[in-house]
Structure 1
Amino acid sequence: MLATVTAGAVLGIDAFLVTIEADVSSGLPAFFLVGLPQGAVKEARERIIAAMGNSGYYLPPRRITLNLAPADVPKQGSAFDLPLAVGMLAGAGQMRSIDRLAGYMMVGELGLDGALRPVRGALPLAIAAKQAGFAGIVLPGHNVGEAAVVDGIDVRGATTLKEIVRFLEGSEELPQTTLDRDALFRAASAVEHDFADVKGQEHVKRALEVAAAGAHNILMVGPPGSGKTMLAQRLPGILPPLTFDEALETTKIHSVAGLLGGTKSLVATRPFRNPHTTISDAGLIGGGPHPRPGEVSLAHNGVLFLDELAEFRRNVLEVLRQPIEDAKVTLSRAAVSLTYPSRFMLVAAMNPCPCGHHGDTQRRCTCAPQQVQRYLGRVSGPLLDRIDLHVEVPAVRYRDLSDRRAGEPSDSIRARVTRAREVQRARFGDRGDVHANAHMTARDLREHCAIGDGGEALLRTAITRLGLSARAYHRVLKIARTIADLDGGGDISTAHVSEAIQYRSLDRASAAAAAAAAAG
């Protein structure tokens, strides 16, 4: 007897349908699994047979052939266990009725006792099922929350194989899961880390506001304990709230990475990722034997924070260039090429020298000038050029620490940032490649970043004295445009250009070091 079950497989952050054809016929007992099964799919036979036996189902000794179509695409993962088991039972005539089988997609991993275990990618699988016109999807109970994010599809969760068989036969119902997306967004709107908690550092707060308003990358340089990490943690709280489309795309990435399930079903706040300095290049941008999204993709639509930037391995930092420029990561393998989105704000922090106190007015630096230059040189010039704002973060003064007054709350700063983003949204319209000033192309700069004679003269002097590259020149123009947007979106003035130049502190430091070396 031939039975057909629909499953799904994840490719990148999207899913595609896999049709499982199960043929159980008379003949010498044999088991054939074809259709390019890989890894865990090849091992599914032993899990499935044990799960069926421990669930009370008897599979007669027959010739069993299972085909996974399309047959020319590799199939990976353990989510095929459930549909393979259902197909074998239906093909062997072990189910009283299979009327419901055609209307549901099946995904899930089976334990030897017949229990269902969670799988990766439930959200993109539910989206694929809806787009294909299926009535619903049946999956492990641990995954129902993320699948229920999709409107217009019947999401059924189960804990055992026996429950699913009874549901397909019509003798038992599985609970239907629904989700209140508005409630999720309301619950996520509260700011966990507030700028009101930060004492002093007003110019750094201003720089972070400018960065948030234009989606600019920022580097903070300062001694240990000056509040760099504390400031970075509060940046997501002043970014505009996620739209549902952004939340859905971000959630798909986290679903594929296996970071959802249980009570967390939707990423409703902007992600904040803080990888350790020992991370590998594959961990940062993604990859591995079975490619998974890396930290740059998990930070999509949010913030990627690299603390102690100079301590990361140089090859790890250099792989950031493509994601920063292209807002996506492409992983090419012999069998497949995957693309993960990675539009994030890079926020980095580092000490000014190995001991951390170069330029500190409170503690003496013990590093030789050559050590300082070597330390700063661990971050390459091309990477620094891709960071729009360089900001010095000095040690916090006692009078600021002892001040009992609360600083400006994040909600107030977020309101200004959101207004500036609305100005940019009106400027760029529905262009998919430009969402904020940081993403402007050279053509956009000519059209939207015209400056007057005074600003032109100031910028010319800065470029000459600081030796800015062409990319750094464009960064200054983008920052000036953002500052003008925070002021209402008018023309770029000399004051806007002057403030933008102040946010290139490492360029000023490099120019001063070069001048000192020439004088020596």
Structure 2
Amino acid sequence: MSLAVLKSRALNGMTAPQVTVEVHLANGLPSFTIVGLPETEVKESKDRVRAALQNARFEFPAKRITVNLAPADLPKESGRFDLPIALGILAASGQIPADTLDQYEFAGELSLSGELRPIRGALAMTFAICKTDQHTQRQAAFILPRANADEAALVSDATIYPADSLLQVCAHFAGLADDSKLCRHRPASQRMLPQYPDFSEVKGQLQAKRALEVAAAGGHSALLIGPPGTGKSMLAARFPGILPAMTDQEALESAAVQSLTSGFSILNWKARPYRAPHHTASAVALVGGGGTPRPGEISLAHRGVLFLDELPEFDRKVLEVLREPLESGRITISRAARQADFPARFQLIAAMNPCPCGYFGHSNGKCRCTPDVISRYQGKISGPLLDRIDLQIQVGALPQEDLLRQADGESSAEIHARTEAAFTRQLQRQDKANYLLTTSEIDQYCQPDAAAVQLLRNAMTRLNWSARAYHRVLKVARTIADLAAQEHIGSAHVAEAIQYRRALREQ
């Protein structure tokens, strides 16, 4: 047989379209050609495959070898096609049986010795295989490197066969003995619980801790404002530990995005992502992009926390790209040749100093910034972006007596128990977190009593709120009521929500 056909997968954003690998051997001068819009990594597979076959003691055919990766208009990148190309050459030259190859899909990068190396996007590829199986009623198995097996096995319906080398895969199809068959991979039954820094280590800052508890319970974004050294970064680093536990679906979504960058580890299963890019990060680094679109920091923080320290130091154009994802929870990256869609349902926690020197309002009186300088510094954060941040929290300098005391605050476990209970109430009432409520749902679930309505009217008039700000205050008040296990929103809940909504430029 001079033609072999195998199945593999490409990556296009979060999707993994099927790729048919066709290998044809013909008479003529020896050559090795790969067609089907291969990028540099795929073109280089010719040398890896040749060396791997020879070092595994297979015969490399001295023929005209043509490899077609279909569909031809889909760009192919990375070394994941090494394994199916090598198997196709062996099947087309009759060195391994080809009758059962159509029951499997293959992906794996080959070393020169024939060992299989891990690939990017194994989880996304496994998702796509199982989705195809549901439509075709055919359960295709997936053969891939052993290093990717735990990740791929997170998809419970998948049939995963991990392998260490090209020889193992060939022995599986040769079927000379039962012990040469690849064994189906079983997911680990026990996984480590996520470990986060603890809130009990933070001295004082009770108001900031309370505000972050509200943010965690309802999924609200928050901005921490205060002088240097007051614990803003320390509070943010502990914030993931008080968020409600991830569901299996949320964990799979997060893991699938991490898999696209080879950044996922099974040890981080169900751990909320925590991303803290430096303020010199570009817009592409933040939202994703490139010739072959890759997820950026906002997508890698999907179902977790995106922490932006020194917020005014970020380029304004970089910050403005956050506005749409904060509302929609998705980011679409469009290029001339392709388009990729990534999830970006992250929780924004930002921190900043109140002025360039950082000591505006500090009791030590060190600040010498003029009102005009302070206004320009705070003005680096645009009104539309600030309008989308639900809580703006003052983090003041700690008194000396608090610094000398041992940290004795509540632990993250205690705060987490309250946020989990409040989040459960939200799911029972409206089947979603409070920050996701639409306008009609706000009218249904966030109706305050008469005294609270009057308080809101006064605040709207005095603070000149937008309609978005008004709705976000109601959502925060709803979360505060849920933390207090109250069905109705009272004036105390609204008053606390208003305190968290003070405009930055009015401090």
For the aligned pair, the TM-score class normalised by the smaller chain equals over 0.9
**2:201 aligned partner:** 197
Distance 1:119 1:405, change over 3 A: closer
Measure how far apart 1:412 and its partner are.
1.5
**2:455 aligned partner:** 458
Paired residues for 1:156-305 under 5 Å: 156-171=161-176, 172-174=180-182, 176-181=184-189, 183-184=190-191, 187-189=192-194, 191-260=195-264, 264=266, 267-305=269-307
Measure how far apart 1:158 and its partner are.
2.7
1:477 to 474, 478, 490: 474
Q: Which consecutive unaligned segments of at least 5 residues does structure 2 have?
A: none
Aligned-partner Cα distance in 2 for 1:273–1:497? 31
**2:58 aligned partner:** 57
Compare 231-240 and 69-78 and name the one that shifted more. 69-78
Q: Which consecutive unaligned segments of at least 5 residues does structure 1 have?
A: 430-434, 513-520
Q: Is the 8 A contact 2:123 2:155 kept in 1?
A: yes
Tell me, what secondary structure is at the counterpart of 1:20?
strand
Seq. identity, %:
48
Compare 249-258 and 160-169 and name the one that shifted more. 160-169
Q: Match of 1:51, as an amino acid?
A: A
**2:408 aligned partner:** 406
Measure how far apart 1:28 and its partner are.
4.0
Measure how far apart 1:160 and its partner are.
2.5
Tell me, what secondary structure is at the counterpart of 1:235?
helix
Paired residues for 1:41-440 under 5 Å: 41-95=42-96, 97-131=97-131, 132=133, 133-171=138-176, 172-174=180-182, 176-181=184-189, 183-184=190-191, 187-189=192-194, 191-260=195-264, 264=266, 267-404=269-406, 406-429=408-431, 435-440=432-437
Measure how far apart 1:44 and its partner are.
2.1
Measure how far apart 1:409 and its partner are.
1.4
Aligned-partner Cα distance in 2 for 1:426–1:175? 43
1:501 to 482, 486, 498: 498
Measure how far apart 1:237 and its partner are.
0.8
Distance 1:265 1:17, change over 3 A: farther
Tell me, what secondary structure is at the counterpart of 2:32?
strand
Q: Is the 8 A contact 2:150 2:188 kept in 1?
A: no
Compare 458-467 and 353-362 and name the one that shifted more. 458-467
Measure how far apart 1:504 and its partner are.
1.8
Aligned-partner Cα distance in 2 for 1:108–1:122? 10
Q: Under a length normalisation based on structure 1, what TM-score does the superposition of the two structures give?
A: 0.91
**1:515 aligned partner:** none
Q: Match of 1:461, as an amino acid?
A: N
Q: Match of 1:241, as an amino acid?
A: A
Write out per-residue CA displacement over residues 120-174 of structure 1, whole angstroms, 9 at most, x where no aligned residue: 0111222333343445222122212211222243423333322222222124234
Q: Is the 8 A contact 2:23 2:68 kept in 1?
A: yes
Q: Match of 1:206, as an amino acid?
A: R
Q: Match of 1:230, as an amino acid?
A: M
Aligned-partner Cα distance in 1 for 2:102–2:377? 63
Measure how far apart 1:454 and its partner are.
1.8
Compare 248-257 and 120-129 and name the one that shifted more. 120-129
Aligned-partner Cα distance in 2 for 1:153–1:474? 43
Aligned-partner Cα distance in 2 for 1:489–1:14? 43
Q: Is the 8 A contact 1:420 1:489 kept in 2?
A: no
Aligned-partner Cα distance in 1 for 2:94–2:309? 60
Measure how far apart 1:106 and its partner are.
1.1
Aligned-partner Cα distance in 2 for 1:407–1:326? 36
Write out per-residue CA displacement over residues 59-79 of structure 1, whole angstroms, 9 at most, x where no aligned residue: 222232222223332222210
Aligned-partner Cα distance in 1 for 2:344–2:32? 43
| Count of paired positions | 498
Q: Match of 1:37, as an amino acid?
A: P
Measure how far apart 1:293 and its partner are.
0.5
Distance 1:324 1:405, change over 3 A: closer
Compare 153-162 and 364-373 and name the one that shifted more. 153-162
Aligned-partner Cα distance in 1 for 2:267–2:115? 22
Aligned-partner Cα distance in 2 for 1:489–1:69? 59
Write out per-residue CA displacement over residues 459-517 of structure 1, whole angstroms, 9 at most, x where no aligned residue: 22222222222221221111111111112141111111111110023x1x5346xxxxx
Compare 397-406 and 457-466 and name the one that shifted more. 397-406
Q: Under a length normalisation based on structure 2, what TM-score does the superposition of the two structures give?
A: 0.94
Aligned-partner Cα distance in 2 for 1:192–1:457? 41
Tell me, what secondary structure is at the counterpart of 2:420?
helix
Aligned-partner Cα distance in 1 for 2:201–2:414? 14
Compare 139-148 and 195-204 and name the one that shifted more. 139-148
Aligned-partner Cα distance in 1 for 2:16–2:117? 19
Moved over 4 A (4+): none
Q: Is the 8 A contact 1:303 1:344 kept in 2?
A: yes
Tell me, what secondary structure is at the counterpart of 1:479?
helix
Q: Match of 1:201, as an amino acid?
A: Q
**2:505 aligned partner:** 510
